[in-house]
Amino acid sequence: MERKINRREKECEEKHSNSEGSEQDKDYKTSLITLNVGGYLYITQKQTLTKYPDSFLEGIINGKIMCPFDADGHYFIDRDGLLFRHILNFLRNGELLLPEGFRENQLLAQEADFFQLKVLSDAVKSRWEREQLASRETTFLEITDSHDRSQGLRIFCNAPDFIAKIKSRIVLVSKSRLDGFPEEFSVSSNIIQFKYFIKSENGTRLVLKEDNTFVCTLETLKFEAIMMALKCGFRLLTSLDCSKGSIVHSDALHFIK
């Protein structure tokens, strides 16, 4: 008799445990929301969409705002499906994180306004204003000789990050060809200054020491800068000194997007 009672108690406990497990699974499934935004499906948690009270998404989830459904029963929102990934990432992370080279600030600001996310809208507009300010500031890099500053190259660009990229590349190339780095040249915020910079019959060369050990030509640096700019989507606006004809003979290069 005692064994039968224990068996029944065990069966009741298992049923209760299974019941609790199924209820938890049910609660978890109901917390997942699928949105159809302009034909793109997004699956996320209810708590993510309701993070900001009085937002458009919070209103939909909590029944404050009527929203149509697609053929599969998902909420349908007639907005830009590709840009919505940034809206959702903002809700998940609590901060604006955009890929490098993102250029759709105005469109994203419109989407933020539609979804009634003022914090995101302000963050996008602030980012756009910073980019506009940076685009008006021409940044330059000067590669010169410490003894004769008339010999060298200037690179102008309206993107500070590109100037930094070119500078690091030139330093890397020079370092690989200079045994005494950084003794043979100095690097500051906008200037790379070589210690020995001479002219020869084959053109201007950067040299390691007074014995004229070959390092690289200025023409090589110019081509390097131009190729990097084109790969990054910039265009050569003009040679700032066109009197010398060929680009490789100019004293300055000007890039813009």
Minimum mean pLDDT range among 27-41, 199-213, 218-232: 199-213
Segment 88-105 mean pLDDT: 90
Q: What's the mean per-residue pLDDT of the chain?
A: 75
What is the 3-state secondary structure of the chain? Answer: CHHHHHHHHHHHHHHHHHHHHHHHHHHHHHHEEEEEECCEEEEEEHHHHCCCCCCHHHHHHCCCCCCCECCCCCEEECCCCCCHHHHHHHHHHCCCCCCCCCCCHHHHHHHHHHCCCHHHHHHHHHHHHHHHHHHHCCEEEEEEECCCCCCEEEEEECCHHHHHHHHHHHHHHHHHHCCCCCCCEEECCCEEEECCEEEECCEEEEECCCCCCEEEEHHHHHHHHHHHHHHCCCEEEEECCHHHCCHHHCCEEEEEC
User: So where are the chain's domains?
Assistant: 24-134, 140-256
Asked if 237 and 255 count as a contact pair (C-beta separation under 8 A), the reply is yes
Task: Output the six-digit token pair for 52.
Answer: 């900001």
Confidence of residue 121 (pLDDT cuts 50, 70, 90): very high
Rounded Cα distance, 171 and 2, in Å:
85
List Cβ neighbours of 138 (8 Å cut-off, separation of 6 or more).
156, 157, 158
Distances (CA, A) of 47 to 28, 41, 88, 111: 11, 18, 12, 20
pLDDT value at 211 more than 50: no
Higher pLDDT, 183 or 106: 106
Instruction: Answer whether 0.75 is exceeded by the pTM.
Output: no
Q: pLDDT for 158-182, tens place per residue?
A: 777 788 888 887 777 666 554 444 4
Task: Output the six-digit token pair for 182.
Answer: 């950084």
The percent of residues in the chain predicted with pLDDT above 90, rounded, is 34
pLDDT given for residue 4 in this prediction: 47
Segment 24-36 mean pLDDT: 70
Rounded Cα distance, 170 and 225, in Å:
9
pLDDT given for residue 182 in this prediction: 44
Q: pLDDT for 38-93, tens place per residue?
A: 999 999 999 999 999 999 999 999 999 999 999 999 999 999 999 999 999 999 99
pLDDT value at 26 more than 60: no
Geometric angle at alpha carbon 201, from 195 and 207, rounded to 5°: 20
pLDDT given for residue 47 in this prediction: 94
pLDDT value at 253 more than 50: yes
Task: Output the six-digit token pair for 141.
Answer: 């890099």
Q: Would you call 83 exposed, middle or buried from its count of C-beta atoms within 10 A (0-12, 13-18, 19+)?
A: middle
Asked if 225 and 244 count as a contact pair (C-beta separation under 8 A), the reply is no
Segment 235-245 mean pLDDT: 60
Q: pLDDT for 126-162, tens place per residue?
A: 988 877 776 655 577 877 766 555 667 788 887 777 8
Q: Would you call 113 exposed, middle or buried from its count of C-beta atoms within 10 A (0-12, 13-18, 19+)?
A: middle
Q: Which CATH number fits domain 24-134: 3.40.50.10490, 3.30.1330.120, 3.30.710.10, 3.40.50.720?
A: 3.30.710.10
pLDDT value at 103 more than 70: yes
